[in-house]
């Protein structure tokens, strides 16, 4: 492959672990002999990956409390990034999309005006607003890519439903693991002590942004029947609220007298503390009501923790029940309670599932394989 590739990603390390995804993707592409440059923001430190050209032209793009100032900084960053890449001989521009707005559209238009090719990884198909303006922008954005990458068959079908003409230009490339970027040489007792968890408690972990679609109320409602049989259980809720109010969740906690069984860390979790939450946990529970791909699930398996997830189609593409993870019926409180009691009553099965999950994440979702598949998507452009 002679053409050079630029990943243009304003988000980078801002408020999430997305930069680990970028770095994993970069390492996999470089190992597959792709000539790669990464353009991102100055919150993101260079990963110092051998062969990667790294540029932080998006300066303080999320710092201001005024959206218009951040938007102007975004536009400036895009001009610097795209023009620098184009005049460096780069022809393929890869973007990651979690939402659609006029700034995302602007990025793609600049590339097209300069006769570049656009590859778009669509992480969340429907995190878009339903306003007429956003739907117009969404349609325009989907007209521009030369190749679309999704993480699973479910997302591919959802995009095809938006526009059947897109089906032929969609490639499926799974979400890679986080194994190269985490510390799994952990001490469970030390992590519990760090978080203020008594050593005699078995820990269920709900991790990540608390959004309405994450289904925390389903887990809280299920917990009452769990602690009756397993009074040593402690549910740790770690993550900040996003366009949400905790009062509805607190009401469930209070009405069911669950306070002594719950540890609330409803805040942004610094990256240096993340490992303690996973290391202290016995089982990670992700009671999502809707999802396209879960980075938290991939992180869970990378930390060698067993996961319990709903039987949503994109998650069933990864998890096989009682083999490499556990499944329950989506939004079904009684089924979730029963499943939790069953898992907690069979530690031998939990260990078997944990081992199989670890094998899965380090083989099928290895970044070299992800890089090979992504390179193939580039070659189809």
For the segment 350-362, what is each residue's pLDDT rounded down to a tens digit? Answer: 999 999 999 999 9
4-176+366-379 CATH, one of 2.20.25.90, 3.40.50.2000, 2.60.120.280, 3.30.70.2080: 3.40.50.2000
For 137, list phi and psi in degrees, rounded to 5.
Answer: -60, -40
What is the three-class DSSP state of 104? helix
> Which pLDDT belongs to residue 183?
75
Banded pLDDT at 131 (limits 50, 70, 90)? very low
CA–CA gap between residue 352 and residue 152 (Å, rounded) = 26
Give me the residues paired with residue 321 across strands: 325
- In this predicted structure, the answer to whether residue 109 has a pLDDT above a threshold of 60 is yes
* Mean of pLDDT over the chain: 93
Banded pLDDT at 2 (limits 50, 70, 90)? low
Lookup: tokens for 128: 């878009």
The predicted-structure confidence for 301-337, as pLDDT tens digits, reads as follows: 999 999 999 999 999 999 999 999 999 999 999 999 9
Residues 6+ apart with CB under 8 A from 31: 367, 368, 371
**What is the fold of 180-361?**
Rossmann fold (3.40.50)
Q: Do domains 4-176+366-379 and 180-361 have the same CATH topology?
A: yes
The residues spanned by each domain of the chain are 4-176+366-379, 180-361
> Which pLDDT belongs to residue 47?
92
């Amino acid at each position: 492959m002679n053409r050079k590739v630029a990943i243009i990603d304003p988000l980078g390390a801002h408020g999430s672990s997305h930069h680990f995804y970028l770095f994993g993707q970069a390492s996999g592409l470089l190992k597959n002999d792709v000539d790669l440059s990464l353009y991102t923001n100055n919150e993101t430190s260079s990963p110092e990956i051998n062969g990667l050209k790294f540029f932080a032209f998006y300066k303080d793009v999320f710092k201001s409390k005024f959206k218009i100032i951040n938007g102007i900084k975004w536009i400036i960053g895009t001009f610097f990034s795209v023009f620098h890449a184009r005049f460096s001989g780069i022809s393929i521009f890869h973007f990651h999309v979690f939402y659609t707005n006029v700034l995302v559209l602007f990025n793609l238009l600049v590339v097209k005006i300069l006769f570049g090719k656009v590859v778009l990884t669509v992480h969340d198909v429907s995190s878009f607003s339903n306003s007429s303006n956003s739907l117009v922008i969404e349609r325009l954005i989907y007209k521009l890519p030369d190749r679309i990458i999704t993480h699973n068959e479910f997302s591919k079908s959802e995009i095809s439903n938006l526009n059947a003409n897109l089906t032929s230009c969609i490639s499926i490339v799974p979400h890679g693991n986080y194994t190269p970027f985490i510390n799994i040489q952990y001490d469970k007792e030390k992590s519990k002590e760090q978080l203020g968890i008594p050593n005699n408690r078995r820990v269920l972990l709900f991790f990540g942004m608390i959004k309405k679609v994450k289904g925390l109320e389903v887990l809280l409602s299920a917990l009452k029947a769990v602690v009756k049989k397993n009074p040593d259980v402690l549910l740790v809720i770690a993550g900040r609220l996003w366009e949400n109010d905790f009062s509805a969740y607190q009401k469930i906690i209070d009405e069911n007298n669950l306070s002594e069984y719950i540890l609330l860390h409803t805040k942004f979790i610094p990256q240096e503390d993340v490992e303690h939450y996973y290391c202290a946990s016995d089982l990670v529970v992700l009671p999502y009501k809707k999802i396209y791909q879960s980075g938290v699930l991939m992180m869970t398996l990378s930390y060698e923790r067993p996961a319990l997830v709903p039987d949503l189609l994109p998650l069933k593409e990864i998890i096989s029940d009682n083999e490499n993870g556990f499944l329950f019926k989506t939004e079904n409180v009684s089924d979730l309670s029963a499943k939790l009691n069953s898992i907690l009553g069979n530690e031998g099965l939990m260990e078997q599932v944990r081992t199989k999950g670890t094998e899965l994440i380090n083989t099928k979702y290895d970044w070299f394989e992800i890089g090979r598949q992504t390179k193939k998507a580039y070659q189809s452009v």
